């Protein structure tokens, strides 16, 4: 994880030590919320005066608000613009109050980040959009998006990756992103499956990706991996005759020679537009349309076509469940919450499914 020296310097000028500034940066970037045990894990302490001095300083400077939940657990909300603005995170919605359920998710996300400090993260919405849309040249339409409509006008704003779950980029394999989902220990996988469906269009357009399912209990690990494998199982074999016919119909359509197309041809075109997306289908079509790819050559080319993205799946144990919220899930957390959407590493790992 790379934190710009300028960002650390400005936090230190607010009165924090270098270690405190690093922790504040992580909280501002990834969660907005933290607990005392999380600071202790970050500093590798079990107790001591440094924790008390840190939280007292935060409260005295007005950079956080603290709320006590069950079992005398304090949850701190880092909300001050004086912190977010100088580190270029003022547009993050981490400053806003969230529902109890979202607060718990953010604490789980911070636990994951603290256990994976050596990873390189796409920290903001802008960074994620730039990576997938500008670097990988994927269309904005397939990125997970939520549209916010203005209260007093017909205007709207599209926000991407509002769930704030981490996305990691490996230095050795920069084209293979790692997606993370942090789950609670309550029964059921519905939120997880909803998340997968929201990301499905994007994930299917990638050649390779890694997925990490993190939770405070291994109870749902096997089911989570099974549902992931079902969704991203290799696609059926590609039939040359059908693909060539799709190319022919598409060529006629793009040449505005549609009078000869039947209803079945139009149905084939719609189905093919969904089935044969991205590379290497697009390059095969362009070569075929220019006369540079015969039927026999297309047959050989099909052997190279990937049946689906190559995927790996991993599980990680998170250190806390934050069941302090369970009795208060229906209780308000201060003012009405904003609706944003929805240390040990386990050895569970699948092999590449696309190979």
- Whole-number Å distance between alpha carbons of 56 and 274: 56
Q: Which CATH class is domain 5-96?
A: mainly alpha
Per-residue pLDDT, 339: 44
- Burial category of 101 from C-beta neighbours within 10 Å (exposed 0-12, middle 13-18, buried 19 and up): middle
pLDDT of the residue at 332:
39
Is the separation of the CB atoms in 354 and 311 below 8 Å? yes
The Cβ of residue 285 has, within 10 Å, a number of other Cβ atoms equal to 20
Closest alpha carbon to 23 in 10, 15, 11, 14: 11
The answer to whether the beta carbons of residues 97 and 337 sit under 8 Å apart is yes
DSSP-derived pairing of the beta strands 177-182 and 208-215: parallel
Contact at 8 Å (CB) between 274 and 200? no
For residue 303, name the pLDDT band (cuts at 50, 70, 90): low
- The mean per-residue pLDDT over the stretch 2-31 comes to 95
Is this structure's pTM higher than 0.85? Answer: no
Beta strands per DSSP E along 189-239: 208-215
Intervals of CATH 1.10.10.10 along the chain: 5-96
Segment 182-211, tens digit of pLDDT? 999 989 999 999 999 999 999 988 989 999
Query: What's the pLDDT tens digit per position in 311-349?
Result: 999 999 999 999 887 654 444 333 334 444 443 344 344
From the CB of residue 311, how many other CB atoms can be counted at a distance below 10 Å? 22
Look up residue 335 and give its two tokens.
Answer: 């003012």
Q: What's the pLDDT score for residue 293? A: 73
- Predicted pLDDT at 299: 67
User: What pLDDT is attached to residue 38?
Assistant: 97
User: What is the reported pLDDT for 352?
Assistant: 42
Question: What CA–CA distance (Å, rounded) separates 160 from 143?
Answer: 7
Predicted pLDDT of residue 191: 96
| C-alpha neighbours within 13 Å on the C-beta side of residue 109 | 26
What are the tens digits of pLDDT across the range 216-261? 999 999 999 999 999 987 666 667 788 888 989 999 999 988 888 8
Segment 2-14 shows an average pLDDT of 94
For residue 307, what pLDDT is reported? 58
Tell me: the pLDDT tens digits for 263-296? Answer: 999 999 999 888 887 666 787 888 888 877 776 6
Cα four-point dihedral sign 11, 12, 17, 22: positive
Q: Two tokens at 166?
A: 């981490």
Tens digit of each residue's pLDDT (9 = 90 or more) over 110-162: 999 999 999 999 999 999 999 999 999 999 999 999 988 877 667 788 999 99
Report pLDDT digits (tens) over 50-86.
999 999 999 999 999 999 987 778 999 999 999 999 9
pLDDT of residue 243: 83
* Position with higher pLDDT, 238 vs 9: 9
Is 87 or 175 the better-scoring residue by pLDDT? 87
């Amino acid at each position: 994880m790379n934190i710009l020296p300028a960002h650390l310097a400005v936090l230190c000028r607010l009165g924090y030590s270098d270690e405190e500034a690093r922790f504040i940066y992580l909280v501002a970037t990834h969660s907005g919320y933290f607990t005392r045990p999380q600071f202790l894990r970050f500093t590798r302490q079990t107790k001591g005066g440094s924790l008390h001095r840190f939280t007292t300083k935060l409260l005295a400077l007005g950079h956080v608000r603290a709320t006590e939940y069950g079992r005398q657990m304090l949850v701190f909300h880092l909300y001050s613009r004086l912190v977010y603005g100088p580190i270029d995170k003022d547009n993050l919605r981490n400053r806003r109050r969230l529902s109890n359920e979202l607060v718990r998710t953010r604490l789980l996300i911070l636990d994951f980040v603290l256990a994976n400090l050596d990873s390189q993260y796409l920290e903001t919405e802008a960074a994620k959009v730039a990576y997938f849309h500008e670097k990988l040249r994927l269309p904005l339409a397939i990125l997970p998006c939520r549209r916010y409509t203005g209260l007093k006008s017909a205007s709207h704003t599209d926000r991407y990756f509002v769930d704030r779950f981490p996305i990691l980029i490996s230095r050795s394999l920069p084209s293979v992103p790692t997606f993370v989902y942090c789950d609670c220990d309550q029964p059921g996988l519905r939120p997880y499956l909803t998340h997968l469906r929201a990301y499905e269009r994007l994930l299917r357009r990638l050649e390779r990706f890694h997925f990490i399912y993190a939770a405070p209990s291994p109870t749902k690990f096997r089911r989570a991996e099974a549902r992931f494998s079902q969704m991203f199982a290799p696609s059926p074999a590609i039939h040359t005759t059908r693909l060539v016919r799709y190319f022919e119909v598409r060529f006629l359509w793009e040449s505005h020679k549609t009078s000869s197309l039947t209803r079945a041809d139009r149905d084939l075109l719609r189905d093919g537009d969904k089935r044969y997306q991205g590379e290497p289908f697009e390059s095969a079509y362009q070569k075929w349309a220019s006369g540079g790819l015969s039927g026999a050559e297309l047959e050989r080319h099909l052997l190279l076509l990937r049946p689906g993205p190559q995927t790996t799946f991993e599980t990680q144990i998170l250190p806390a469940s934050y069941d302090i919220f369970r009795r208060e899930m229906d209780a308000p957390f201060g003012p009405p919450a904003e609706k944003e959407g929805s240390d040990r590493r386990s050895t569970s790992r699948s092999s590449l499914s696309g190979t």
